[in-house]
Amino acid sequence: MNITIKDTVIIGSGPAGYTAAIYAARANMNPVMFTGMQPGGQLTTTTEVENFPGYPQGITGPEMMEDLQKQAERFGTVIHYEYITEVQMATEPGQLHRIVSSSGQEIQTRSIIISTGATAKYLGLEDETKYAGSGVSACATCDGFFYKGKPVAVVGGGDTAAEEATYLAKLCTQVYLLVRKHELKASKVMQERVFNTPNITVLFHHELIGLEGDKVVEKAHIINNQTQEKSELNVDGVFIAIGHKPNTELFQGKLDMDETGYLITKGKTTQTNLPGVFAAGDVQDNVYRQAITAAGTGCMAALDAERYVAEYF
């Protein structure tokens, strides 16, 4: 097997990974990136991105990610369209890490930048896929604006759902919050905000069972899970807010994570609990989850990795 030693390997090709690649490449670290199964990351699944600075007319997600890829390649990033299957991380500063990719390629590296992102959870309804980007969203901050002046529904009963509902209530005429149980799981403060917002209607014991509309969502079909009574809501958008799953299976038992699996970084850095291993983007952020914040921490991770390599090798 051909084993090479690199300054840094970037795992993941979303905004965090590409920004880390641009910075690391310009710092002469000759970064190697593994794209994973979704080259370009989550933004390749959306149409308009209107909130990333620098694009006054907006840009589609796939186009933006293509721009980032070109910029990273311009400075010499080597991109492999494979995913990582195994990571052995050093425990002492100055030791090499070992990474194996899906084709069996093995790389030793002085530092690792983890930017494997997170995946929004969905209910598993066929209509969620059918209307993805055409009325179904998992991000109110990203897509709420498209529903300005229109009625929407939010699915979920936790803090995320409560936050999405109150955010959307400022833009939308009416927000229906569909809660499976008889109460909200959200914190007391968030619950109060929901109940004190006049244009949020909380529908306890209600579940989404289907969507209807000509190309875009026009109606949500719901069911009362106590009485089994079915009804419909006239809404233009449905926001699924039942949580996210960070892509951290590879690092389980190796890196410090919070109770929901997000990687933990130290203070204002991207440093994980192991030396030379840095984390950027949604994989370590269960709060902001935006392209710009992912890009920002990608920049930080490259700078942290560069300083680490300069100090210990």
| Residue 242 lies near ligand FAD (rule: CB under 6 A) | no
- Minimum CB distance to ligand FAD smaller for 33 or for 165: 33
Nearest residue to 118 via CA among 291, 238, 301, 268: 291
Residue type, 139: C
Measured from the CB atom, the residue of 13 and 197 that comes closer to ligand FAD is: 13
- Say if CB 118 and CB 289 are below 8 A apart: yes
Interacting residue with ligand FAD among 8, 46, 77, 105 (CB under 6 A): 46
Considering the complex, state which of residue 52 and residue 204 has its C-beta at the smaller distance from ligand FAD. 52
Beta bridge partners of 88: 98
Look-up: residue for tokens 């699996």? 261
| Lookup result for tokens 């233009």 | 236
Give the x/- contact pattern for ligand FAD in 70-109, rule: CB under 6 A: -------------xx-------------------------
Answer yes or no: 143 catalytic. Answer: yes
CA atoms within 13 Å, Cβ hemisphere of 201: 12
| Residue 236 CA, distance from chain mean position | 24
Binding mask 253-272 for ligand FAD (x = CB under 6 A): --------------------
- The region of 115-123, 153-161, 181-189, 207-215 touching ligand FAD under the rule CB under 6 A is 115-123
Q: Is 139 a catalytic residue?
A: yes
- Structure tokens that stand for 181 in this block: 């149980």
Q: Are strands 219-224 and 3-11 parallel, antiparallel or unpaired?
A: unpaired
| DSSP H or E stretch at residue 68 | helix 61-74
| Contact residues for ligand FAD, defined by CB under 6 A | 11-17, 34-39, 41-43, 45-46, 49, 51-52, 83-84, 115-118, 120, 138-139, 142, 247, 250, 281-283, 289-292, 294
Q: Which residues are catalytically annotated?
A: 139, 142-143
